[in-house]
Chains A and B, each alone.
Chain A
Amino acid sequence: MAADVRLMKTAAELALADAFAAVKSTLPGDAAVAAQRTAAFETFASVGLPHRRVESWRYTDLRALLREAPPLASAAGPEALARSLAACPMLAGMEARRIYVVNGAFVSDISDLANLEPGVSISSLATALGAADPLVAHLGQTVASSDAALALNTAFMGDGVVIALAEGATLSRPLHLVFVTTEATATAAYTRSLLVMGKGASAQVIESHEGPAGAAYQVNTALEVVVGEGASLERVKITAEGNDALHISTLLARVADGAKLANANFTLGGAIIRNQLLVQLAGEGIDASLSGVSLLAGKQHSDTLLAVEHIAPNCQSREQFRTVVDDTARDIFQGRISVRQSAQKTDARMMSRALLLSDTAESDNKPELEIFADDVQCGHGCTTGSLDQQLKFYMMSRGIPEKEAEALLIQAFVGEVIDAIGHEGVRAALTDATRNWLIERK
């Protein structure tokens, strides 16, 4: 049955098609890139916006949630740029190299590009595409995916950050990619970034996303990462979009022999948030950690899709996800560990836990194992429930007020993930952010 061919296209799908036709000739890149864009849009057009019959989107019906396709965001004015400098206050005190992407455009004027460490280059994607930089050959080549939201990103990608670390290069301080939306009207921004790490390179990268409250803007962002042999990457992504925003993010990471990858997602803000993490452990002896914390309230809807693929032998992966859901918010976690026949001696463990704080909060959890190699140790666990009433009572009997007891328990719950973050400053900032979230909680 050709069930995918639908006669009716939604208004948003039609608007996206119109928008692509209108802007494709103005988007950066040579003929090859243009062809890539067209192919990606065709992929999107053949299936449309993901809906609940698409297994990986079964809990987030984008066809119903994405009603409009707003115009592409335009460049920010001087006043907006000045405001952008104050973005991500939770990391304000932290020593970092800050790179700004405002309204979907890399802004070199306010970015810290001076005195780059040896072997390190940072540039804008638009520039790299325009100059046919050889690095852009990595685009779309890290991890294969036919995801429709990613296809939209490929079709529309306007700008982003291109980072390369040569063999042995090390960042002396964390790199903070600050993504900001400044416009108060509904806009759309499609950013695509690239991080290519040579043999033995090492980096800490923080990515933050934010924008104004009350604006129904849309962000579709993607990062492709190549972690070279023996390289080490710690990435923390903070999603703190405005309360009406729709945020879709895709991480595509390909990891080589003996490398180390630690990725943590911290999700606070946004109306609809979708984080896709597609990770391929392509070399032997990799140590990978994928983790996440979501703090959701109001009507927030957060969906994390994780697919870790073990391809080579002797790799270890740890997946740890914690989510706290209040009010009528909904959290979704779909995690899959796949172990190919070639990936003997894989050691993979995934744990996802949801804490529901209100009668109307919701949690959907789908931890999946797909195993084709016999000499493996794989497992997953998952729990859903409310706060442990006995623990709460115990704390209250020692004189701790109820609200505080709850806060302590919640902090301990998410602390299991936050405490594992390597960078001390980030760890402290996320701990504080959790505390603030708890204070603001009614």
Chain B
Amino acid sequence: MNGGNGIAIDVKGLTKSFGGREVVHDLSMQVKRGSIYGFLGPNGSGKTTTIRILCGLLTPDSGEGTCLGYDIRRDAEKIKRQVGYMTQRFSLYQDLSVRENLEFVARLYGLADARGAARDMIKRLGLSGREEQLAGELSGGWKQRLALGACTLPNPQLLLLDEPTAGVDPKARRDFWNEIHALAADGLTVLVSTHYMDEAERCHEIAYIAYGHLLTHGTVEQVIAKSALTTYTVTGEDLNELAAALTGKPGIDMVAPFGTSLHVSGRDVAALEAGIGPWRERSGLHWQKSSPSLEDVFIELMSRSRDNFQ
């Protein structure tokens, strides 16, 4: 295998600006072969730009690194042969049928038997009987499945998926993730950007990126532990009133309602406990110290980064 060191993506100091606005700032990351790496962050945080740099669609202003052992600046053509890139917007040909789209991709990559490869993929995707349907007429879930099929057709070593499950129903989303895990089990490396927390939790490793800065990375447990966030879960009556009272108080960094409970978090345990002190003993409220959820961590990171970078 190329590189052979067990690292699929290894980049340092990537920077990219558009029209004077820095979209990616000094970004470094490493992705292990065969792992599923989740890329999280608010809209416009530079996720898509980073993915495009990795697959050679954009040239970084500065920074360097390798993708599958190939230099991202010099060997873009070689990288393209081994990488499957699924764009955020459906980018297969809407006026071509399922079969024609797959055959087109198979031919472009020089598969010896393009028709056979397309036929096999149609079977694998469960699209038998629909091969002559135009891609533009498929439902959202099927489109996304077809797009994934087109990406994996030339047997890539790395999949770059840019918000692949946006706007797809939960069942299709679950199937999609089962598929991604199956592909990773076969040795494929997958870098996937998403907004969904449940999807983030299904990744082997995650990175959080906001305003072009990579803020934290690691396994889900590591990211939560690194955040040093303390969270209390409150249940009881008049939670809206409580939320309004607590927001902005010293020591309390974040207040977020979760269904019938309220998450109150702070970076400094002592300050947090001092802050919530007056309400701890109030009747009708039940306080419980809990570990923060991934979402708590991300929202806290996001609000902090907004202060720092905007």
Task: Tell me, yes or no, whether A binds B.
Answer: no
